Structure 1
Amino acid sequence: MSFTETFTDFYNHVKTSLADGTFAKLTLAKTIGNTDLMNIYVRPIVEEGILKLELKYKFQQEEQVEIHTIDNARDVLVNYINNPFLSAILFTAQFDLIYKLNKKRAVNITEQVNTFENASEILLEYLNQ
């Protein structure tokens, strides 16, 4: 399977957690080599009554923010898998899902005990409208 296919499978869990109100945050991390871009943090926001995702790019010297629709965010994020990021972690109120590439670029998706007890406040407010 290609990175696009495996990341799409992983991202379907992101979309499910947004829909069921358990999404806390998504982080892309573990870069290849010394890169200027260190992390991408993804959080839900509501813009003009529509649930979207804020992508915060954490560089060594600055931060940049972009707003995307939920589906478009997948298209943006998949471009960063294996270039430069080797992992993505979905934090939910139920579990953490880790998408990881090893040195041979084989994909491993594992579930762990949840880090966060509560979902994103913004998401919960949006779903309770």
Structure 2
Amino acid sequence: MPYQDVFVLFWEQVKESVQEGRFAKLTMAKTIGKPNLRNIFLRPIYAEDGFKVLLKLRYRSRDTEDKEDELTLEQAHEVVKSHIRKSFLSVLLFTTTKDVTFKVNKKGVGSISEALPTFREVTQAKSDDE
């Protein structure tokens, strides 16, 4: 199945984990080549005005400062989607009930696998105004 179709299924699990309060973290890993961008992380921020994520871009070079931004889940979806197969080959969703891994192989075929949870509880990211 083309990776775009599989990613839609994967993102449904991300949204479901947020709605159920099980979303712990999302990480993009397995870089393609040696880009300066090393990782992308999403951490949850459950606030009174709704759910947001703290997006962190981590760079290899010490000359490039890591970037953080508070986004809605929809905005984060666009960022993650834009980096698949350009910078990263896998996305790991960590929830309190299971870990879900989305991978793209060299032929552009996507797959989803599940494992036992790494996190037992949700640790919120600290927003800038706290």
Normalised to the residue count of structure 2, the TM-score between the two structures is 0.85
CA apart distance, 1:118: 1.2
- SS in structure 2 at match of 1:79: helix
Cα separation, 1, equivalents of 2:45 and 2:21: 13
Cα separation, 1, equivalents of 2:36 and 2:106: 21
Aligned residues: 122
Cα separation, 1, equivalents of 2:97 and 2:56: 24
Matches within 5 A, 1:13-92: 13-46=13-46, 49-60=49-60, 61=62, 62-92=65-95
> Deviations 1:102-129 (Å, cap 9, x if unpaired)?
222211100111111112346xxxxxxx
Cα separation, 2, equivalents of 1:4 and 1:74: 13
CA apart distance, 1:70: 1.1
RMSD: 1.7
* Over 4 Å off, 4+ runs: none
Contact 2:44–2:124 (8 Å) recurs in 1: no
- SS in structure 1 at match of 2:35: coil
Cα separation, 2, equivalents of 1:66 and 1:101: 26
CA apart distance, 1:63: 0.6
More helix by percentage? 1
CA apart distance, 1:3: 3.7
Matches within 5 A, 1:5-16: 5-16=5-16
Cα separation, 2, equivalents of 1:105 and 1:45: 32
Normalised to the residue count of structure 1, the TM-score between the two structures is 0.85
